[in-house]
Amino acid sequence: MTLFTIRQDFRAPSFGPTSQAEIYSEAMAQYRWADEIGFDFAVISEHHGLDDGWIPSPIVAAAAVAGATKRIPIMLSAVIVPLHDPIRLAEQLSVLDHLSEGRVWTVAGAGYRAVEFEMAGVDMKRRGALLESHLRTMIQAWTGEPFEYEGRTVRVTPKPFSDPHPRVLVGGGVEVAARRAARLHLPMMPMNTEPKLQEWYHDEAKKVGYTGGFVMVPQGPTFIHVTNDPEKAWAEIGEYLLYETQTYASFQTPGQWSTPKVDASNVEDLKKSVQIVVGTPEQVIEAARSIPQFGAMTFNPLAGGLPPKLAWESLELFAAEVLPKLRVDG
């Protein structure tokens, strides 16, 4: 079974033809489209201080998506937990859990961009410890009962719609992150394909007596564009994809990388990446069938500020000529 996800970062770079307001409008329309045709996840990320307006408020955006859709699960991937006050974050996610009737999944990330920690006045060196302590605080807060926090009594209401709390996965790509997730009795969403993450996670889970955990390993392309003329499509979308991948690669530091990371200095490099599929309906069907069970095909239709007209052409061709054949496959 292949999962279909649609991701939006709400980016409007200055070289593109689309305004920030138009990007928001088109992104919401595409989320509604994905909901109607049966996609498995709507994904929203979080970053701060980018020139192109990368979404800094995923919870606000998720509330809008919840109101605009009926059934699609919404994944916040990832919320940079150390940048937030844990009590306020617990309140906001509890309200979002009610608004979505339990459809929201939150990937709790530690963060990795120094500028974001500087903006928030948070010591980046403490991000791992803060992620763990904040999550423990939030889990306790979601009981709805008063408790002591930093020398004062606090209480978070309403209790979440979901029992015992909203779905939370711990993000990360190194051993300490895998073990942290298990200690917290939470599932893990790896940010890369390091094969030992599952081993580390299950080893720690055994130590702490946690038997209900799982690791969602990312598998499958992270950008898909369906077209009847791949050569023409590359000429139209190449600069946007190059901007997308180079910006994202610039976030990474030695020893810290996240999916989707694509090293490319030009469009020709992008064409060689297994993370990017720009192809005919038949080629996209073939790519989907090659994905391991429970892998995902991720659509990022407006990546790098890609013009909405081109994005819709791809989505509509996917719905007409690709999805029906994949549904026959089951």
CATH of the domain at 25: 3.20.20.30
Residue 260 has pLDDT above 80, yes or no: no
Q: Which helix (H) or strand (E) holds 285?
A: helix 281-289
Q: Are residues 265 and 182 in the same domain?
A: no
pLDDT in tens, 10-38: 999 999 999 999 999 999 999 999 999 99
In a domain, 294, yes or no: no
Give the total number of structural domains in the chain: 2
Q: Are residues 248 and 123 in the same domain?
A: no
Residue 218 has pLDDT above 90, yes or no: no
In a domain, 216, yes or no: no
Domain with 258, as residue range(s), is 224-289+308-326
* Mean pLDDT across the chain: 95
Residue 261 has pLDDT above 70, yes or no: no
pLDDT of residue 53: 98
Q: In what order do the strands lie in the sheet with 104-109?
A: 188-190, 167-172, 104-109, 74-80, 41-44, 3-8, 296-299
Rounded mean pLDDT, 51-77: 98
Q: Are residues 197 and 238 in the same domain?
A: no
Whole-number Å distance between alpha carbons of 197 and 87: 30
Region for 143 from its dihedrals, namely left if φ exceeds 0, alpha if ψ lies in -120 to 50, beta otherwise: alpha
What is the distance of C-alpha 219 from the center of its chain?
14
Which residue is associated with the tokens 């994005």? 311
Residue 281 has pLDDT above 70, yes or no: yes
> Structure pTM?
0.95
249 band by pLDDT with thresholds 50, 70 and 90: confident
pLDDT of residue 195: 87
Residue 292 has pLDDT above 90, yes or no: no
Phi and psi torsions of 176, nearest 5°: -60, -35
Residue 176 has pLDDT above 80, yes or no: yes
In a domain, 7, yes or no: yes
Q: Are residues 41 and 87 in the same domain?
A: yes
In a domain, 94, yes or no: yes
Rounded mean pLDDT, 67-76: 99
Whole-number Å distance between alpha carbons of 68 and 79: 21
Q: Are residues 171 and 264 in the same domain?
A: no
Q: Are residues 200 and 234 in the same domain?
A: no
Q: Are residues 159 and 250 in the same domain?
A: no
220 neighbors 295 (Cβ within 8 angstroms):
yes
Q: Are residues 179 and 251 in the same domain?
A: no
Output the six-digit token pair for 309: 């007209």
Tallying the residues shown for the chain, one arrives at: 330
Q: Are residues 127 and 177 in the same domain?
A: yes
Would you state the torsion angle of the CA atoms of residues 78, 256, 50, 308, taken in this order, to the nearest 10 degrees? -60
Q: Are residues 49 and 78 in the same domain?
A: yes
Choose one of 178, 206, 234: the last residue of a domain. 206
Output the six-digit token pair for 32: 């509604």
pLDDT of residue 116: 98
pLDDT in tens, 86-97: 999 999 999 999
Instruction: Please give the share of the chain, as a percent, with pLDDT higher than 90.
Output: 88
pLDDT of residue 259: 57
Q: Are residues 54 and 196 in the same domain?
A: yes
pLDDT of residue 209: 97
In a domain, 1, yes or no: yes
In DSSP terms, 147 is beta-bridged to 154
Q: Are residues 95 and 200 in the same domain?
A: yes
pLDDT of residue 257: 52
Residue 253 has pLDDT above 80, yes or no: no
pLDDT in tens, 179-203: 999 999 999 999 888 889 999 999 9
The helix/strand count (H/E) of the chain reads as 12, 11
Rounded mean pLDDT, 94-121: 98
Closest by CA position to 221, among listed 173, 261, 277, 292 = 277
pLDDT of residue 294: 73
Classify residue 195 as exposed, middle or buried by CB count within 10 Å of its CB (0-12, 13-18, 19+).
exposed
Output the six-digit token pair for 306: 């890609």
258 band by pLDDT with thresholds 50, 70 and 90: low
User: Mean pLDDT lowest for which of 48-57, 134-143, 247-256, 306-315?
Assistant: 247-256
171 neighbors 177 (Cβ within 8 angstroms):
yes
Whole-number Å distance between alpha carbons of 179 and 207: 10
